[in-house]
Amino acid sequence: MEIDMPTKKQTPRTQPTPEGWPVAWPYPVDYEKENRVTADVLVLGGGLAGCFAAISAARKGLKVVLVDKSAVLHSGAAGSGIDHWMFCPSNPAGKVNPEEYTLDPILRYKGGYGNAVADYITARDSWETLLELEKMGMKIRDTDDVFKGAPFRDEQTKLLFAYDYETNTCIRIWGTGMKPALYKECKRLGVEIVERAMVTGLLNENGLPGNRVVGAT
């Protein structure tokens, strides 16, 4: 995969400063320069899905380039973090199994209709995904015992729960550390991160529309 992007070696702007402006534009501007970056896998977008995709590919030994129009550390819909990890019946303190958790709402108030396959995969795998984030450095437990003795805290695991205290399927987390943890893991695995770069088009093999995508500009 390839991506063409402006080079970092650019010519400073020399236009005069408009009247009333305190300083000239301080950043170099050169719209004619290009860099060509090659990789085995090109990931466009550095949100949660993009970071996980980059991490998964890098763990398989592939050279990965991750491109984001913002700063990956806090970009995307979850850039500021989340405070609840829902659909997690498989946690150690959960009181319902993934199968029951998936089927009960479909049979009880959805008239038998629902995307049971996707719901089941989420219910089955969400705890393992949360543990993976914990290994990357995101806090998911009340390790400082701030809420020790609270009715929504499981004393054995130090997990905090919300909403449904009968099943314990929604976990309160310190989600502001989610993107920083993913960013750190990307860097650890050697993912090349290109930030503040807007992708404007995809490149098809041999330049023919309809052929497989081999890069971006």
CATH fold of 1-8+32-83+177-217: FAD/NAD(P)-binding domain (3.50.50)
24-59: per-residue pLDDT in tens? Answer: 777 788 878 888 999 999 999 999 999 999 999 999
131-178: per-residue pLDDT in tens? Answer: 999 999 999 999 999 999 999 999 999 999 999 899 999 999 999 999
State the burial class of residue 21 (Cβ atoms within 10 Å of its Cβ: 0-12, 13-18, 19+): exposed
Q: Can you give the residue ranges of every domain in the chain?
A: 1-8+32-83+177-217, 84-173
Locus of tokens 């996980």: 52
Amino acid at 78: A
If DSSP codes are grouped into helix, strand and coil, which group holds residue 73? helix
